[in-house]
Amino acid sequence: MRVSVIIPTHNEAQAIAHVIADLPADLVTEIIVVDSNSNDGTPEIATRMGARVVREPRRGYGRACLTGLAAANSPDVVVFLDGDYSDRPSELPVLLAPIAEGRADITLGSRLREKRSAGALPWHQALGNRLAAGMIRYLYRLEISDLGPFRAGRADVLRALALEETTYGWAVEMILKGALAGFRVVEVPVSYYPRIGKSKIGGTLKGTAGAAWFILSLTVRYYFRHRRARAPRSA
């Protein structure tokens, strides 16, 4: 199974070497670091560690993930992982197992299903994730608890979903489109630790509010779009 790991970065020089070093070499075919205008040496460190660096000057977390997906070299499975070392890359086998065993098309690493390190996920982020996950459970009948960044998907499924969100909405678009298309979305517990360096989203009020708005509005919009699309057929 060819596994491409995509790591979006912006000034993660303190953490990126740890992230790359902890990825199980026997499972990973290629590591793609998509860097957005880092000025602290992140791309150079990633290159020395054996990753392929793709520059993406345009802003947006989702845009970085899409750029990495487009650059991947014929993978069977694509893994998305933050570059701040809050998730543990060594837990990649846990994330890949449901796909490798034929039980899932997309897997999500939940930071809320098991005990996490103190201070790893601020209360407002945990609350926001629980709220969004609760809305998805209610509207989409999909049993998830978190919208964590550590996730994987079959490459053919990701292509079929035609992902397009370039901002914070990326965190939920894959889940919603996957559920609506009938793909198997499975959640697995992962550990979570305080990130190395300053958060670009959860560490600021503006970032937290922006992420919440994109995620919640997208969840509602996709739901009603799907209902409208089904209405003519039902009639």
pTM: 0.89
Position 170 scores a pLDDT of: 85
Q: What is the DSSP string of the chain?
A: --EEEEEEESS-TTTHHHHHHHS-TTT-SEEEEEE-S--SSHHHHHHHTTPEEEE--S--HHHHHHHHHHH--S-SEEEE--SSSSS-GGGHHHHHHHHHTTS-SEEEEESSSS---TTSS-HHHHHHHHHHHHHHHHHH----S---S-EEEEHHHHHHHT----STTHHHHHHHHHHHTT--EEEEE----PPSS--SSTTSHHHHHHHHHHHHHHHHHHHHHHHHHHHHHH-
Backbone angles phi, psi at 33, to 5 degrees: -100, 115
Residue with tokens 């919440």: 212
Position 115 scores a pLDDT of: 64
- What top-level class would CATH report for the domain 3-229? alpha beta
Position 117 scores a pLDDT of: 65
Low-confidence ranges of the chain (pLDDT < 50): 235
Position 90 scores a pLDDT of: 97
Position 198 scores a pLDDT of: 65
pLDDT digits (tens, 9 = 90+) for 158-191: 999 999 999 878 889 999 999 999 999 999 999 9
pLDDT digits (tens, 9 = 90+) for 130-144: 888 888 999 998 999
Position 111 scores a pLDDT of: 87
